[in-house]
Structure 1
Amino acid sequence: MIGTPGKWSTESLADAFGERTGFRQVIDMARAVLDLDAGTLVCDGVDLTALDGLVLKKVAEEYSPDALDRLELLRVAEARGVRIFSPAERVIRLMDRLACTVTLRGADIPMPPTTITEDVTAARAALDRYGAAVFKPLFSTKARGMVLLDSDAPDAEAQIAAFKAANPVMYIQQKADLSGHDLGMVFLNGAYVCTYARVSQTDSWNTTIHSGGKYAPYDPSPELIELGRRAQAPFGLTFTTVDIALTPDGPIVFEVSAFGGYSGALKGCGIDAAALVADHVLQEVSA
């Protein structure tokens, strides 16, 4: 189990494997050592290249370019025949918000109008077109580091400049009308599992749990499930969640999660995703 020691989702998944196999090991990639000459990838005395499989729950506490380097280390284990769920190279395509967006748009998935630029003049022009926009870091989760700007804000240029200073490549997305909630649609190995809603409890512009949102069950239409299925299909992940919003102009997809929403599945749908993932992985490595 690759994850963050002490975190609920990591420990729950490790427990699920321990209950089924008698073997329980949480791997913190910050402690991993790759020896290319020896062909080993060792963490806390365990050579990851000697295992039957690895389950990737979290490669770092926060998304960052450094986290991509940890995934590159795991590719060495994959090259030596270790199966990783989800495969490292597929997760790499998701952790960078721009890479995820390019793949989704290439698959003709409806998304909010989006502009990516390093030019502050072009960024201001995009904000004027959108009226209100969310400036998003390329590496972040739970809306961390995101900035909501209105085109008529008197300090808009200063806020754009401040965002640019921390994020040289600016990802600018038109603010969507979420009507107080958005959805997390859960898939296991490409098969639909359930959908939960994140319902805002405050006047925050986003519905994330980090900003006070609460989980609730949601029963999607077959058409909405098909949209979620199409959105996650290009990535080929073991377990994932598709973030969907229902707007006055129809459903849109924000992103596909690299690691999936274990807490949302449990609290919103009453489904133990850790048990489902453990059963699936053990069936795969035993085949």
Structure 2
Amino acid sequence: MRKEILRIGILGTSQSSHVQLLTTALQDLGAEVVLIPPTRLTAHIPGPPAVGAPPGNQAGLETLKALLVRSLPGGSLEQVIYRVDVLHRLENLGLTVINRPAVLEKTVDKFYTSAILADAGLPVPRTLVTEQFDQALAAVKEFGAVVVKPLFGSRGQGMVLVDDLDVAHRVFRALELGRYIYYLQQFLPHANEDYRLLVVGREVIGAMRRRGNNWKTNIACGAVPEYVNPDPALAKLALKTAAVLGADCLGVDILLSGDRPYILEANGIPGWSGLQSVAPVDIAGIIAHYTVAQCLRREKEGYSKSQRG
């Protein structure tokens, strides 16, 4: 009997180094990899979504066993919502999506992420989110210093430290003109370092300390990575963060201030180039093994249900 080929899709572009590494790792496990550009998703009703092809000439998304999401590019509100809706539909049709669209919705928006974690009792910095200029200014007076962050974004881009009311006035007026939301977190002293932990499944597969030249600890902003064995308390916090968000794969940024941990961010489409540069493990290989294992588990569950039926 001929063995069925395991077809796994990656939502992303061929230029991405993460996509390239995952493709090689999955192929090494015997999987057939289908690259799916996020902007070419096409939905037919009735019928499953395809990749920019007319009915009768579809790219076979319904034959995939899993879909790894590596890119959800920005765009108009319609474009962003539509792409996530397609992922929801694929999941509703029985496809294993990693991470699930519900997880991506929780982690793409810093406010929603922080609110979910805080409501679950996890430690996050004091935060104010508002559209009101006067309330934002009052937060600077109350907190003393705030980190102004874009609601959507990564790699430390667009973050500004504000600890002066005159500077706050200028920055907040500029944001007001652009119709931005004020997302302000209390600045926490942290010796210019924090930790990134990468969770896959129910395991922290790697962690690094990031040391910056200033308060920004993002590697894209010049911070230097150092591999560490995470403190058990930090590992437990990262795993609980992933469990609360329901994530299969999650990057968790944790800052220590006054010996207390605070979750800064949780990334549902985490990059790992910096971590891989210092880690002794093959991160893409671990994610590939996890994905294949999830496919086999789903197949086994389906077989067991058919036997019982």
Determine whether 1:38 maps to 2:38: no
Equivalent residues, number: 283
Shift of 1:20: 1.7
The correspondence of residues 267-282 of structure 1 with structure 2, limited to 5 A, is 267-282=277-292
Note the aligned Cα RMSD (angstroms). 2.0
Aligned match of 1:20: 29
Determine whether 1:219 maps to 2:232: no
Match of 2:199 among 166, 187, 190: 187
Query: Does the CA-based 8 Å contact 1:28-1:43 persist in structure 2?
Result: no
Aligned match of 2:301: none
Shift of 1:64: 7.9
Unaligned runs of at least 5 residues, structure 1: none
Shift of 1:28: 1.2
Q: Which amino acid aligns with 2:289?
A: D
CA–CA distance in structure 2, aligned partners of residues 43 and 107 of structure 1: 40
CA–CA distance in structure 2, aligned partners of residues 185 and 206 of structure 1: 17
Aligned in 2, Cα 1:133/1:195: closer, same or farther, shift over 3 Å? same
Aligned match of 2:104: 91
Unaligned runs of at least 5 residues, structure 2: 1-9, 298-309
Aligned in 2, Cα 1:259/1:79: closer, same or farther, shift over 3 Å? same
Shift of 1:48: 1.9
Farther-moved stretch of structure 1 (264-273 vs 64-73): 64-73
Shift of 1:195: 1.2
Alignment partner of 1:111: what SS?
Answer: coil
CA–CA distance in structure 2, aligned partners of residues 42 and 251 of structure 1: 43
Alignment partner of 1:89: what SS?
Answer: helix
Per-residue CA deviations over 1:221-273 (Å, capped at 9, x if unaligned) read 21222122222211121111110011125111111111223223312322211
Shift of 1:137: 1.3
Shift of 1:68: 4.2
Farther-moved stretch of structure 1 (21-30 vs 113-122): 21-30
Q: Which amino acid aligns with 2:238?
A: G
Match of 2:115 among 99, 102, 107: 102
Per-residue CA deviations over 1:200-239 (Å, capped at 9, x if unaligned) read 1x33x31111111121112222122212222221112111
The correspondence of residues 82-161 of structure 1 with structure 2, limited to 5 A, is 82-152=95-165, 154-161=166-173
Shift of 1:63: 8.8
Query: Does the CA-based 8 Å contact 2:51-2:59 persist in structure 1?
Result: yes
Determine whether 1:74 maps to 2:84: no
